Chain A
Amino acid sequence: MLAFIFKRLLQSVVVMLTVALIAFALFRYVGDPINNMVGQDTTLEERAELKERLGLNDPFIIQFYRFVRDASVGEFGLSYQHRRPVKELIAERLPATLELALVSAILALAIGIPMGVYTALKRYGFLSRTFMTISLVGVSLPTFLIGILLILFFGVILRWLPTFGRGDIVEIGWWTSGFLTASGLKSLIMPSITLALFQMTLIMRLVRAEMLEVLRADFIKFARARGLPTRAVHFRHALKNTLVPVITITGLQLGSIIAFAIITESVFQWPGMGLLFIQAIGEVDIPVMAAYLVLIAFFFVVINMVVDILYFVVDPRLRVDKALVNGQ
Chain B
Amino acid sequence: MTENKNPITLLDYFGQMRDSDLWFSFTRSPVIVASACVTLLYLIVTIFAPLIAPHDPFDLASIDLLDASLPPVWMDDGELRFILGTDDQGRDILSTIIYGSRISLFVGFASVIFSLILGVGLGLISGYVGGRLDAFIMRVADVQLSFPAILIALLVDGLARTLLPREHHDEVALYVLVFAIGISGWVQYARTVRGQTLVEKGKEYVQAARVIGIRKWTILLRHILPNVTGPVLVIATIHLAIAIITEATLSFLGVGVPPTTPSLGTLIRIGNDFLFSGEWWITIFPGIALVLLVLAVNLLGDWLRDALNPKLR
Q: Which residues of A contact B (CB under 8 A)?
A: 11, 15, 22, 26, 30, 136-137, 139-145, 148-149, 151-152, 156, 163, 252, 255-256, 259-260, 262-263, 266-267, 277-278, 281-282, 284, 286, 289, 293, 296, 300-301, 304
Contact = CB atoms under 8 A, between A and B. Distances in A.
Nearest to A145: B287
5 contacts: A137-B295, A140-B298, A156-B276, A262-B253, A304-B146
B241 A140 contact: yes
Given A148-B287, A152-B280, A278-B255, A26 B162 contact: yes
A262 B154 contact: yes
Nearest to A252: B146
A142 B263 CA distance: 15
A144 B139 CA distance: 32
Contact of A260 (B139, B148, B280): B148
A142 B249 contact: yes
B162 A289 contact: yes
A11 B290 contact: no
B185 to A, nearest CB: 15
Given A140-B241, A144-B268, A282 B255 contact: yes
Interface string B266-280: 001000100110101
A144 B252 contact: yes
B163 A30 contact: yes
B52 interface: no
A138 B139 CA distance: 32
A26 B159 contact: yes
B98 to A, nearest CB: 19
Contacts of B41: none
A145 B291 contact: yes
Interface in B32-56: none
A137 B294 CA distance: 9
B23 to A, nearest CB: 24
A263 B143 contact: no
Contacts of B290: 142, 145
B150 interface: yes
Nearest to B299: A136
B139 to A, nearest CB: 7
Given A11-B139, A22-B159, A145-B290, A300 B147 contact: yes
A296 B162 contact: no
Nearest to A296: B151
Nearest to A293: B155
Interface in B145-196: 146-148, 150-151, 154-155, 158-159, 161-163
A152 B162 contact: no
Q: Sort A-B residue pairs by CB-CB distance and give the 6 closest, nearest first.
A: A259-B151, A140-B295, A281-B158, A256-B148, A140-B294, A304-B146
Interface residues of B, number: 38
Given A136-B299, A142-B249, 11 more contacts: A26-B162, A145-B287, A145-B290, A145-B291, A148-B272, A156-B276, A252-B146, A259-B151, A260-B148, A293-B155, A304-B146
A267 B155 CA distance: 19
Looking at chain A's contact residues, the main secondary structure is helix
Nearest to B135: A326
Contacts of B143: 11, 15
A300 B255 CA distance: 23
B72 to A, nearest CB: 15
A323 to B, nearest CB: 15
B245 interface: yes
Contacts of B248: 142, 144
A324 to B, nearest CB: 13
Contacts of B117: none
Contacts of A259: 147-148, 150-151
Contact of A263 (B253, B284, B299): B253
Contacts of A278: 253-255
B283 interface: yes
Contacts of B249: 142-144, 263
Contacts of B283: 148, 152
A65 B151 CA distance: 27
B280 A281 contact: no
A13 to B, nearest CB: 12
B306 to A, nearest CB: 13
A256 B154 CA distance: 13
Contacts of A141: 291
A137 B296 CA distance: 10
B298 A139 contact: yes
Contacts of B241: 140
A266 B150 CA distance: 15
Given A148-B268, A148-B283, A255-B148, A284 B162 contact: yes
A277 B151 CA distance: 12
Contact of B162 (A140, A286, A300): A286
Contact of A145 (B148, B161, B162, B268): B268
Contact of B254 (A252, A255, A282): A282
Contacts of B275: 148, 151-152, 156
Contacts of B268: 144-145, 148
Contacts of B253: 144, 262-263, 266, 278
A32 to B, nearest CB: 14
Nearest to B245: A142
A284 B161 CA distance: 9
Interface string B233-256: 000000001000100110011110
B298 A281 contact: no
A289 B160 CA distance: 12
Most buried by B among A139, A151, A281: A281
A270 to B, nearest CB: 13
A260 B154 CA distance: 11
Contacts of B150: 259-260
Contacts of A145: 268, 287, 290-291
